[in-house]
Structure 1
């Protein structure tokens, strides 16, 4: 195992650095003292007694907790293979930072599954694979209860910085206090050239040995050459004024006084830098991109507009802020960062009118940096930059529709990167604030979009009933407020069709999607991405209602439209449509052709996963599952099983265990195990799948009933092999219940219903009731012929079984004629060497199975 990378140091010696180093702030070149604290922290971290606990640096603001954590990371970096910094003052930031660690640990990341990525990271750290020695630092974790679930356990170390004393009951806590006087003196001697020992001692006394205040004072004196006596006189005046007029509550007087002196000098020397600092006070305490501020040349008023358009002026302002220690400047990352206490002091200095004005300006800056397309993966880095500042700047409080659009875009971004819970929390916050401001019953565009996003998040979290109610209400309001043809109305309606499919209303979803496709093409045009989505959904409805030819025709058109639109055949959207065509072809019974198309799609996705998509992306997994089914139906049982195992494993690792796609992968694996003779494993897996459908879908959902068909087939086969007729009797009873359910929910002519009826005939025949088996198969065959066509394998399968029924009741001549004709057509359809053809030739009964399509 790689433990570190060796690099040459400036002293000519080799030092170890971590293999993975992420987002740790720049080391403070003025860091002084704290040796006893660092020693105590190191002893506790490495102690066998406390090593299993998280370690917390706890203390008041301004005492240097974050700087101590940074210094620890750099000083002991050589002892770790992974050092990772996690901003923990917002849950969304913590989740995002942890998810970003996944690829650095060699873990696959699925877009849209950030919670799974976080879980995978925590599991990998727990197991110590691939790195045994790791350090995670959670900075500013002031809400222990909200961040506790993200703290990893296992082979490495966790360090937390926080002002909250509640960490004392949850972690091994190291109290961080002000500097010792010796540390204060050492710092000032290092920071202020020429300062005498008595001067340093008096300055430290006046500033209460508070590191942040000492940094402010040292910077001002170092940069201006101000005499210590003059500084102390000014400091005394400022402290008295502060205590008399505006007693600080959230910060110590020394910080406020020292800050006030630095700000006074900055305001005198460069007013533009002071105005820039005021704007920074309304961002989050995380680093602020310099490019984000420069956007003010487009959206702010004069004279700030002109100043921000001058790169020389901006560079000078940044230099001045750094000189006076009012902001931490990172020239490598092109960011500046203002301490939260300094931000609070600046905001408290402003009157209400000034605060509102500056906060609105910050909102405009954030909106100017918004790419306004959270669905485009190439725009996600921009949203990652915006995310830390949206909540602290109170964007949600804005009544400007354009600023509210930014907040909704952030919710969409969180949804797209897989932070579904973060999306839900953001949408809920928007609805809470905006509905209260608008008044009861008022629904504007922003509120409606937030409602759509909330419904999307609920659906992804498996809260299907809540999603259904939320989306139905939102759709109704959108139609009234925005109109039928607004793009937002179209999108919420497209989502509502998925609600209907989950509820088992395939016919209702089809009717809705037929209408929405016409409207989408009329409003947006046939070559719009939303039109492609609408067409794909309608084709899926055709598939679920058994109209496979229409499904294939529509999917083939969408495939060609997407090829024309994207200009290539290896775009993920194009491959998605190619797989849909392959699935339609398989459902129509053309197994060889379907497998060929599915293999083509599979190889294209394998190329794409090396460049754009991870191997566990939901589209990639769906295609792999469909290919496994196609291989199995084409008679290639071993390759089908191998792919089914791998695909099911990836689904289990990356999706909810009861997610419909995970359950579909489990059914495919169970069907594959049955074909290679592993009946007990197949029965166990599919029985758990049936229970999964019952948990996640409504009790009367067609998939809940249809999945019983697969379990009954296996139970019946085990019963035949072992002579246990009770298993066959049990299978018959289950099939009768399933048939009643399918007849009730889909109708007697649906493909699922007819195959279930034929399976029931097989169970009845095994129990010796040849007359009833004949009656059932005779009723099914003409209807399957009408629904699927005479050459479909399921039609031929039913005909083959009917021939056996005829023979069982001594109608030998009819049985011979039907068997001969059916075998010839079966060979033509599947090939003479196909397993099902060979089984029919031997006189064995053939079995139907259920292959679920996605919702």
Structure 2
């Protein structure tokens, strides 16, 4: 081992090699990251074997060429300050041109770092601008957390081996030692604080130590393993051509069999590759009985287990620890995490799984993501898995929107929905649920014995948690008092510890004194949700208040960021919507990264998704909003929030679907917090209008209607009656009503829009013509084909002058509707000719697989069927179905294609195949759209016709009677669809020898049809 010797802290000399370890004097050792062509090498120092003075002068001259000189100068100076005459720097104390010396040095390096009096970590990418740093000065901490030093493979042993590790900035400013910074270092590296405090490394498992290096990088892949030799106290010969896997296997072979048997060479990457758990493992987790029970139940035949308890009691932490332990024990397992608090979050979590597993069609806007993922999970060929459904407090989240809510099921004493059947089925998969609702947990698991009650911590576990969290020795009596004051709640204890650790001169005793002085400063007990676990709520409130007061006094900017974040949906808060959005001009500039650091260090928020998103505990968010309300801040921040969401939530365009999908939970949060200011209300109405489009495209027509109606009502109050935004909302309401089958109401809304648009915009304005097209389509839905045709011809005449944009979207949409009219009036040849023209244009503009193009193909296939060109119709429909299923178009579109195919099969005499498809379509349509939707009625009619063709007249008659009642109820006696139902029913009666009643019905049906045609 060679050392550098310094007498004055400025000059230095390379010593001869110390062969005997006992002869090595006390020395400091440098840890740093290399810069290409900038490091001072052995040859640089030893060139021409110059004398000490000449070498020092030469090294000074190197300053003009190599930045690495700064490190040597710093190390010499710092060693001299610490009373050390010798120091060691790898780049210039090892002759790397000698392979034998290099191998010996690498095998010895852990010991060299371990035996050093001090290790200086020189962070060239961390700058301290102020005269003094110190651990209480946060200006350097963000750069510290992002330092390249924490990403390099060789620095792992340099962090853990020495007894004393001190960190310095580029300027040589002292930042703190490993013990002082262990909490921050743990957050960066996920290395337990016990290891950072000097615990023997053999106390930690092989796979755990391997995981410490899993995200670190080296220049040569073999060095990822060679840099771990000291961590495992083994020696290896170096083979720099063997590759990573072989080097790892050789390392494992050198580790004793007891520790090596459970380690797989790929395990290092498991946590990133086989899991969607968005949280780091909690180094301070205290093993509890609930976790043991969870392991015991999941080891048996039960596939679904629920952790039940109040918010903040630690359910999610148990699930997180279980997930990591499962990955430790079973390398080949998948672990998925889904937030199940709302339907939006449930779908978002399933979408993340679908994308991670590359499930085909998951990016399509119309895809049923939950169904896609459940199918994948139910396929046992995909392997073992664990699915965590976090915050599953409401069973209605798991029910279809068209289904009766669970509350209605209970009140009407009907059968409860079979919720377990909604979840994926697999003998090799497990579902872990966390929930505040015992009832919801039982409904989801299907078995009360599969629920685990999670209670507040006992004294032993709570004390262990505080011992882990505090950075100083904990007095048992003080800790017991703190535990009792905070009701043994893990969240409250964690927040209290974070506050005490960060606050200068704060102690447990002083913290308790401040709590006892005014425990209800924020709000009295009546203002807290006391319906259940009131003590737990107030304990978190008290903890929040102290931390909040500290934050407000220390960083007003971070306080404003907390206010803004509390208005978002508590999960998946996007970083992009926070930066530069919470600072008014009078407050000056904000440092977002510093503000975020303040919030995370005080446990107000948690970072997920690699720093791109954030999360807040629900009670913390609630308490913050309550403080804002009591102190007159809430309305101001509501206005800021709705402005942000309105700016970023896009208007309805297919290419913006993904953005809508990600932001909808936050849009919903904005809509749930109704502001009062006029400007804020206007933005709120805009969000509601845009969200209505998104819900409509997802097939959630009832939600779309409510959102559109809310937008309309607010805009009518705020805006001028002739404002075009009111017209937009009117049309949005009309579209939703039409999709719900409420045609008469939709027509009234459309007419209001047209009258106003003609007056304000003009008769031939494109917006006016679009509203007229809506009316024409609605007339067709009501069977008024002649009226629809006349209006369409009128639109085409005016659009020819106005619709001049590429693609002529309005013109083509109008022609598509006109072709539909031709078909329904029996002009099949005209319909086919027109649809072929439209198809050619759509394929040219949009491509053959665009949903709009595919819809035109579907219309053409439908027309071919009426022309008797059954083979062409079948071929085209099969082509359409293949495209729709391959690209996962909307489920309603796929069902329409299947219904057309089934009708073709029936005409071809393939009745069994027709029946199977029609049954599938009816079941799916009824589940998605409800029993009264027009599409459901069409499906009933198709199945009845199939039964009649098969000679199953009694079954056909029952369906036809049901259909007639529904059509009279929804469409009226004179609608063509109602008359068709009457005629079909009469023919069925005739077939059953009920001739008298049949003649009467048939006569009424014929008269009614002639009357309608006369109109």
Q: TM-score, normalised by structure 2?
A: 0.58
- Would the alpha carbon gap of residues 682 and 86 (structure 1) be closer, same or farther in structure 2, given more than 3 Å must change? farther
Residue 679, structure 1, aligned to residue 931, structure 2: no
CA positional deviation for 1:267: 5.0
Q: Secondary structure at the match of 1:746?
A: helix
Residue 13, structure 1, aligned to residue 269, structure 2: no
CA positional deviation for 1:370: 1.8
Deviations 1:683-710 (A, max 9, x none): 8447625742541433322123335656
- Would the alpha carbon gap of residues 438 and 582 (structure 1) be closer, same or farther in structure 2, given more than 3 Å must change? same
Q: Which stretch of structure 1 is more off in the superposition, 460-469 or 118-127?
A: 118-127
Residue 414, structure 1, aligned to residue 689, structure 2: no
- Would the alpha carbon gap of residues 331 and 112 (structure 1) be closer, same or farther in structure 2, given more than 3 Å must change? closer
User: Do the aligned partners of 1:644 and 1:668 also contact (CA within 8 Å) in 2?
Assistant: no
* Structure 2 counterpart of 1:531: 811
* Structure 1 counterpart of 2:312: 62
Residue among 560, 563, 571 paired with 1:278? 563
Q: Secondary structure at the match of 2:951?
A: helix
- Would the alpha carbon gap of residues 492 and 47 (structure 1) be closer, same or farther in structure 2, given more than 3 Å must change? farther
* Structure 2 counterpart of 1:695: 966
Deviations 1:132-184 (A, max 9, x none): 99866351627989676888235776735227999999995765543222222
Residue 554, structure 1, aligned to residue 554, structure 2: no
User: Do the aligned partners of 2:685 and 2:715 also contact (CA within 8 Å) in 1?
Assistant: no
Deviations 1:487-513 (A, max 9, x none): 665545433334333333222233333
User: Do the aligned partners of 2:319 and 2:388 also contact (CA within 8 Å) in 1?
Assistant: no
Residue among 960, 968, 979 paired with 1:705? 979
Kindly report which structure 2 residues correspond to 1:65-144, keeping only aligned pairs within 5 A, or say none. Answer: 65-71=315-321, 87=339, 89-90=341-342, 93=345, 137=389, 139=391, 141=393
User: Do the aligned partners of 1:570 and 1:605 also contact (CA within 8 Å) in 2?
Assistant: no
* Structure 2 counterpart of 1:161: 435
* Structure 2 counterpart of 1:26: 279
Alignment gaps of 5+ in structure 1: 1-7, 308-312, 749-855
Residue among 644, 660, 663 paired with 1:386? 663
* Structure 2 counterpart of 1:506: 785
* Structure 1 counterpart of 2:825: 545
Higher fraction of helix: 1
* Structure 1 counterpart of 2:649: 370
Kindly report which structure 2 residues correspond to 1:30-49, keeping only aligned pairs within 5 A, or say none. Answer: 30=283, 32-33=285-286, 35-39=288-292
Rounded Cα–Cα distance in structure 2 between residues aligned with 1:128 and 1:403:
46
- Would the alpha carbon gap of residues 528 and 404 (structure 1) be closer, same or farther in structure 2, given more than 3 Å must change? farther
| RMSD over equivalenced CA pairs, Å | 5.1
Kindly report which structure 2 residues correspond to 1:277-426, keeping only aligned pairs within 5 A, or say none. Answer: 277-294=562-579, 296=580, 301-302=584-585, 307=590, 313-332=591-610, 334-350=612-628, 354-373=633-652, 375-376=653-654, 378-394=655-671, 396-397=674-675, 399-400=678-679, 401-426=682-707
User: Do the aligned partners of 2:823 and 2:863 also contact (CA within 8 Å) in 1?
Assistant: yes
Q: Secondary structure at the match of 2:472?
A: coil
User: Do the aligned partners of 2:982 and 2:1002 also contact (CA within 8 Å) in 1?
Assistant: yes
Q: Secondary structure at the match of 1:328?
A: strand
Kindly report which structure 2 residues correspond to 1:187-202, keeping only aligned pairs within 5 A, or say none. Answer: 187-198=465-476, 199-202=478-481
User: Do the aligned partners of 1:126 and 1:152 also contact (CA within 8 Å) in 2?
Assistant: no
Q: Secondary structure at the match of 1:153?
A: helix
Deviations 1:563-597 (A, max 9, x none): 3322x33333223223433444554x4x44x7437
Rounded Cα–Cα distance in structure 2 between residues aligned with 1:66 and 1:477:
54
Q: Which stretch of structure 1 is more off in the superposition, 91-100 or 694-703?
A: 91-100
Deviations 1:633-666 (A, max 9, x none): 6xx544x874674365245324556654455566
* Structure 1 counterpart of 2:177: none
User: Do the aligned partners of 1:322 and 1:329 also contact (CA within 8 Å) in 2?
Assistant: yes
Rounded Cα–Cα distance in structure 2 between residues aligned with 1:82 and 1:499:
49
Q: Secondary structure at the match of 1:392?
A: helix
CA positional deviation for 1:278: 2.4
User: Do the aligned partners of 1:54 and 1:158 also contact (CA within 8 Å) in 2?
Assistant: yes
- Would the alpha carbon gap of residues 246 and 603 (structure 1) be closer, same or farther in structure 2, given more than 3 Å must change? closer
Deviations 1:532-588 (A, max 9, x none): 32221122122222334443443333223323322x33333223223433444554x
Rounded Cα–Cα distance in structure 1 between residues aligned with 2:350 and 2:305:
16
Rounded Cα–Cα distance in structure 2 between residues aligned with 1:673 and 1:680:
6
CA positional deviation for 1:432: 6.0
Rounded Cα–Cα distance in structure 2 between residues aligned with 1:365 and 1:372:
14
- Would the alpha carbon gap of residues 111 and 480 (structure 1) be closer, same or farther in structure 2, given more than 3 Å must change? farther
User: Do the aligned partners of 1:599 and 1:627 also contact (CA within 8 Å) in 2?
Assistant: no
Residue among 966, 984, 1005 paired with 1:738? 1005
- Would the alpha carbon gap of residues 544 and 665 (structure 1) be closer, same or farther in structure 2, given more than 3 Å must change? same
Q: Secondary structure at the match of 2:707?
A: helix
User: Do the aligned partners of 2:865 and 2:873 also contact (CA within 8 Å) in 1?
Assistant: no
Deviations 1:35-56 (A, max 9, x none): 23445667789999xx899957
CA positional deviation for 1:330: 1.2
User: Do the aligned partners of 2:650 and 2:690 also contact (CA within 8 Å) in 1?
Assistant: no
Rounded Cα–Cα distance in structure 2 between residues aligned with 1:514 and 1:551:
15
Rounded Cα–Cα distance in structure 2 between residues aligned with 1:69 and 1:101:
18
CA positional deviation for 1:214: 1.4
Deviations 1:723-758 (A, max 9, x none): x8x36777665543332221122249xxxxxxxxxx
Deviations 1:184-203 (A, max 9, x none): 21111111233224343343
Rounded Cα–Cα distance in structure 2 between residues aligned with 1:673 and 1:253:
64
Residue 210, structure 1, aligned to residue 461, structure 2: no
Deviations 1:241-275 (A, max 9, x none): 56357546327554344334434554566554333
Rounded Cα–Cα distance in structure 2 between residues aligned with 1:539 and 1:162:
55
CA positional deviation for 1:29: 0.6
Rounded Cα–Cα distance in structure 2 between residues aligned with 1:575 and 1:476:
34
Q: Secondary structure at the match of 2:463?
A: helix
- Would the alpha carbon gap of residues 127 and 390 (structure 1) be closer, same or farther in structure 2, given more than 3 Å must change? same
Rounded Cα–Cα distance in structure 2 between residues aligned with 1:560 and 1:242:
73
Rounded Cα–Cα distance in structure 2 between residues aligned with 1:454 and 1:69:
43
- Would the alpha carbon gap of residues 274 and 564 (structure 1) be closer, same or farther in structure 2, given more than 3 Å must change? same
Deviations 1:188-228 (A, max 9, x none): 1111233224343343344343322211122234456x556
CA positional deviation for 1:335: 0.9
Q: Secondary structure at the match of 1:67?
A: helix
Rounded Cα–Cα distance in structure 2 between residues aligned with 1:628 and 1:179:
61
Rounded Cα–Cα distance in structure 2 between residues aligned with 1:647 and 1:109:
26
Q: Secondary structure at the match of 2:610?
A: coil
Q: Which stretch of structure 1 is more off in the superposition, 554-563 or 142-151?
A: 142-151
- Would the alpha carbon gap of residues 658 and 108 (structure 1) be closer, same or farther in structure 2, given more than 3 Å must change? farther
- Would the alpha carbon gap of residues 36 and 228 (structure 1) be closer, same or farther in structure 2, given more than 3 Å must change? farther
Rounded Cα–Cα distance in structure 1 between residues aligned with 2:381 and 2:988:
39
